[in-house]
């Protein structure tokens, strides 16, 4: 008489990801706040045409005073007008689109590139690894902003170029992290087994290694959006980012710079938006790190 | 030690070679024609062609690259298109002291602000001070430096004229404090994190227990025993930051109107001054590679395990 075989049902002590996430969020108010902020930001960006009190590109004669200086916050222009007589609040809302879209796209591309390079270098090893990692070293040796500025100078400023340029320089840190993870993973039994079964390299990388990298990738992708948004803002501030007249927060600060003595609101509003957005992505990234990948090294 | 150097040096040289190649490629494989820009909008095709020839732009890309590489090895980065026959190296040489001053002071601020914050945070982990400093440093690294700089200018230069508004004149230190502080403020957050993490690690070690058992005051344990463990990672970060800053901090120099390398590069971009752009980017990357090498060597000198 043998007892019926017990089928393992999974450890009941381990709740699902959603529940774990919610539990840790309830205890971690900065993280909760950052998630709320990100949701609000996304809503603001998506609903900008509905929320904006004025069209972002229209210049209003009553946005300027008789001496040509922009008018301050009042009933018509809730956050004041900019030096061209445009509504600051409306431009801020539309600027959220630019920051988010460029930050997410640029960092998404950089993440794909970084994971590919790190995965291939770590898994294949040999001369492929040497070449890929030396290229990583070279790209890492360039100062990020200077590299971006120089590349945009020769390719011309446009939102598309900003995305590509940020992606081109920003993949290196992730490539190094992924490579070192893959180096230790590929010695594990399940990878050796998969290779012994004769699976193709591509399949081993995609089906057996990649799933183990996902938590780390999510953490760094979130933190990376924060940096990408800051880079975009810096480029736009220097006048080599998103071309005028489309609003971007960095560019709004650049335009307000000349008038900041008489119209400080031109600096405050976009600056506060930038800080809050970047902070929210950083906090969310830190929270995800604690949740998904507590051993992940801090990135610089 | 010499064997470590022998292994590390060729690596640095290979990376430097890659840096020159990439810097050259990114500025030469481009659609824009600098000859057109120099000649002006009304120049005839002949004039443009002759300028093209003068600059050597009609030669093959491979030949141009070979020439550039040969000169770069000898420290010659070409002649600026825009600055009336000035050599790129001498233009960089003129701007370097400004950038170097900002860089050194900036790193100093990073350490002065970051390390004490890290020590305070490590004193009672998860305590109120730790949480407050962690959040403060996170805000520090989320704030765009150009915005912080403008804000400081507004409060400390415009509203209260403690510091001059912008520019660079004697006494220079007055013009350097705000830019370097702005630069250091963002980086200080990393130093605080680094100090905190390493202090906490050291606090868990057995010798700290022994020290506590002997009744040593906590302040002595923190400052004399644990702080030492922070020194070598701190040195690494410091060296790398210095290398990074020496190449010019474009945004800060632009906000404060400082005539450093960042400003030089930025101006060169407006005039499509290709030799200047390539040279400045190359120069900045060169500093980073060299500082990385020096940091590695210093590390190896301090810690024999690294040499293996």
pLDDT tens track for A47-87: 878 777 777 777 777 766 667 677 667 767 667 777 776 77
Mean pLDDT of chain A: 82
Q: What angle do CA B65, B66, B69 make, to 5 degrees?
A: 85
Helix (H, G, I), strand (E, B) or coil at B272: coil
Is residue A4 over pLDDT 70?
no
Q: Is A107 left (phi over 0), alpha (psi -120 to 50) or beta?
A: alpha
Q: Do A253 and B15 touch (CB under 8 A)?
A: no
Predicted pLDDT of residue B299: 78
Q: Do A298 and B193 touch (CB under 8 A)?
A: yes
A275 interfaces chain B, CB cutoff of 8 Å: yes
Predicted pLDDT of residue A116: 94
Cβ(A255)–Cβ(A266) below 8 Å: yes
Q: What percent of chain B has pLDDT over 70?
A: 92
Is residue B107 over pLDDT 90?
yes
Nearest by CB: B190 against A150, A267, A300: A300
Rg from Cα positions in chain A: 24
Q: What percent of chain B has pLDDT over 90?
A: 4
B277 interfaces chain A, CB cutoff of 8 Å: yes
Q: What percent of chain A has pLDDT over 70?
A: 87
Is residue B171 over pLDDT 80?
no
Grade residue A120 by pLDDT with cuts at 50, 70 and 90: very high
Q: Do A250 and B144 touch (CB under 8 A)?
A: yes
Nearest by CB: A151 against B18, B26, B154: B26
Q: What is the pLDDT of residues A144-181, one digit of tens each?
A: 888 888 888 777 788 888 999 999 988 998 998 899 88
Predicted pLDDT of residue A156: 78
| Buried-exposed string B266-279: b where 16+ CB fall within 10 A, e elsewhere | bebbebbbbbbbbb
Cβ(A231)–Cβ(B121) below 8 Å: no
Cβ(A262)–Cβ(A64) below 8 Å: no
B262 interfaces chain A, CB cutoff of 8 Å: yes
**Cis peptide bond prior to A245, omega within 30° of 0:** yes
Cβ(A170)–Cβ(A243) below 8 Å: no
Query: How big is chain A, counted in residues?
Result: 300
Sign of CA dihedral A207, A210, A211, A212: positive
Q: Do B32 and A149 touch (CB under 8 A)?
A: no
Distance from CA of A153 to the nearest CA of B (A): 6
Closest residue by Cα to residue A178 from A8, A37, A86, A299: A299
Distance CA B58, CA B60 (A): 7
Q: Where are the alpha helices (H) located in B224-303, listed in sequence order?
A: 227-246, 250-256, 261-270, 274-302
Is residue B131 over pLDDT 80?
yes
Residues of A in contact with B284 (CB under 8 A): 142-143, 146
| Residue B188, number of CB atoms within 10 A of its CB | 26
Predicted pLDDT of residue A297: 52
A138 interfaces chain B, CB cutoff of 8 Å: yes
Q: Which tokens sit at A252?
A: 């709004």
Q: What is the pLDDT of residues A85-98, one digit of tens each?
A: 677 788 888 888 88
Q: Where are the alpha helices (H) located in A28-87, listed in sequence order?
A: 29-46, 48-51
Predicted pLDDT of residue A293: 65
Q: Which tokens sit at B299?
A: 């590390």
Q: Which tokens sit at B150?
A: 């403008």
Residues of A in contact with B14 (CB under 8 A): 134
- Closest residue in A to B191 (Cα–Cα): A300
Mean pLDDT of B116-143: 83
A253 interfaces chain B, CB cutoff of 8 Å: yes
Which residues are within 8 A (CB) of B199 and not within 5 positions of it... i.e. 6 or more apart?
B118, B119, B122, B222, B226, B227, B229, B230
Grade residue A1 by pLDDT with cuts at 50, 70 and 90: very low
Is residue A290 over pLDDT 60?
yes
B37 interfaces chain A, CB cutoff of 8 Å: no
Per the confidence metrics, is the pTM higher than 0.80?
Answer: yes
At what angle are helices B2-28 and A144-155 packed, to 10 degrees?
A: 20
Is residue B103 over pLDDT 80?
yes
Predicted pLDDT of residue A243: 80
Q: Which tokens sit at B242?
A: 């210095």
Q: Which tokens sit at A118?
A: 């790190």
Q: What is the pLDDT of residues B144-169, one digit of tens each?
A: 888 888 888 888 877 777 777 776 76
Grade residue A207 by pLDDT with cuts at 50, 70 and 90: confident
- Closest residue in B to A141 (Cα–Cα): B285
- Closest residue in A to B29 (Cα–Cα): A154
Q: What angle do CA A22, A24, A30 make, to 5 degrees?
A: 100
How far does chain A reach from its first CA to its final CA, in angstroms? 62
Q: What is the enclosing helix (H) or strand (E) of B62?
A: helix B61-73
Nearest by CB: B147 against A30, A138, A271: A271
What's A122-168 look like in SS3?
HHHCHHHHHHHHHHHHHHHCCCHHHHHHHHHHHHCCCHHHHHHHHHH
Q: Do A250 and B248 touch (CB under 8 A)?
A: no
Cβ(A202)–Cβ(A268) below 8 Å: no
Grade residue A118 by pLDDT with cuts at 50, 70 and 90: very high
Give this complex's ipTM: 0.83
Distance CA A206, CA B150 (A): 47
Grade residue A294 by pLDDT with cuts at 50, 70 and 90: low
Range of lowest pLDDT (A4-18, B57-71, B92-106)? A4-18
Q: Which tokens sit at B144?
A: 């765009």
Closest residue by Cα to residue B191 from B231, B152, B131, B226: B231
A158 interfaces chain B, CB cutoff of 8 Å: no
Distance set, CA B18 to CA A139, A165, B68, B241 (Å): 9, 18, 13, 21
């Amino acid at each position: 008489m043998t007892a019926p075989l017990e089928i393992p049902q999974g450890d009941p002590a381990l709740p699902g990801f959603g529940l774990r996430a919610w539990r840790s969020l309830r205890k971690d108010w900065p993280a909760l706040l950052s998630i709320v902020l990100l949701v609000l930001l996304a809503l603001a960006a998506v609903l900008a045409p509905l929320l904006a009190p004025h069209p972002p590109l229209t210049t209003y004669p009553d946005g300027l005073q008789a001496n040509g200086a922009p008018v301050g916050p009042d009933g018509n222009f809730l956050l004041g007008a900019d030096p061209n007589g445009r509504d600051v609040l409306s431009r801020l809302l539309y600027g959220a689109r630019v920051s988010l879209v460029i930050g997410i796209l640029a960092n998404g591309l950089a993440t794909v590139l970084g994971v590919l390079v790190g995965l291939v270098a770590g898994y294949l090893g040999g001369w492929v690894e040497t070449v890929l990692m030396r290229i990583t070293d070279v790209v890492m040796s360039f100062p990020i902003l200077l590299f971006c500025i120089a590349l945009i100078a020769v390719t011309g400023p446009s939102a598309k170029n900003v995305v590509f340029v940020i992606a081109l320089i920003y993949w290196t840190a992730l490539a190094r992290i992924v490579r070192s993870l893959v180096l230790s993973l590929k010695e594990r039994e399940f990878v050796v087994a998969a290779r012994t079964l004769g699976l193709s390299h591509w399949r081993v990388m995609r089906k057996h290694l990649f799933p183990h990298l996902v938590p780390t990738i999510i953490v760094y992708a979130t933190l990376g959006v924060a940096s990408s948004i800051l880079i975009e803002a810096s480029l736009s501030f220097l006048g080599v980012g998103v071309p005028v007249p489309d609003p971007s927060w960095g560019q709004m600060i650049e335009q307000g710079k000349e008038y900041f003595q008489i119209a400080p609101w031109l600096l405050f509003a976009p600056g506060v938006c930038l800080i809050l957005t970047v902070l929210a992505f950083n906090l969310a990234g830190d929270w995800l790190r604690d949740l998904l990948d507590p051993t992940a090294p801090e990135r610089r | 030690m010499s064997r470590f150097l022998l292994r590390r040096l060729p690596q640095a040289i290979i990376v430097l070679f890659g840096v020159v190649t990439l810097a050259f490629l990114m500025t030469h494989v481009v659609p824009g024609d600098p000859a057109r820009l120099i000649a002006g909008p009304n120049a005839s095709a002949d004039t443009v062609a002759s300028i093209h020839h003068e600059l050597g732009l009609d030669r093959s890309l491979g030949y141009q690259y070979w020439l550039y590489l040969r000169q770069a090895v000898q420290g010659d980065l070409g002649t600026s298109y825009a600055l009336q026959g000035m050599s790129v190296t001498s233009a960089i040489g003129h701007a370097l002291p400004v950038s170097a001053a900002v860089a050194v002071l900036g790193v100093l601020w990073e350490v002065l602000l970051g390390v004490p914050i890290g020590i305070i945070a490590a004193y009672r982990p998860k305590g109120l001070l730790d949480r407050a400093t962690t959040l403060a440093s996170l805000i520090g690294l989320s704030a765009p430096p150009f915005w912080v700089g403008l804000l400081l200018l507004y409060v400390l230069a415009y509203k209260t004229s403690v510091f001059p508004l912008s520019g660079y004149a004697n006494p220079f230190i007055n013009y350097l404090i705000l830019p370097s502080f702005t630069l250091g403020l963002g980086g200080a957050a990393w130093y605080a994190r680094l100090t905190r993490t390493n202090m906490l690690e050291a606090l868990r070690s057995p010798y700290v227990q022994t020290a506590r058992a002997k009744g040593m005051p906590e302040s002595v344990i923190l400052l004399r025993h644990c702080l030492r463990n922070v020194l070598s990672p701190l040195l690494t970060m410091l060296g790398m930051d210095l290398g990074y800053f020496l190449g010019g901090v474009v945004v800060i120099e632009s906000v404060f109107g400082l005539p450093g390398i960042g400003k030089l590069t930025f101006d060169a971009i407006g005039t499509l001054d290709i030799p200047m752009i390539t040279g400045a980017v190359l120069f900045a990357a060169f500093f980073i590679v060299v500082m990385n090498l020096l940091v590695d060597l210093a590390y190896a000198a301090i810690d024999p395990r690294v040499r293996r």
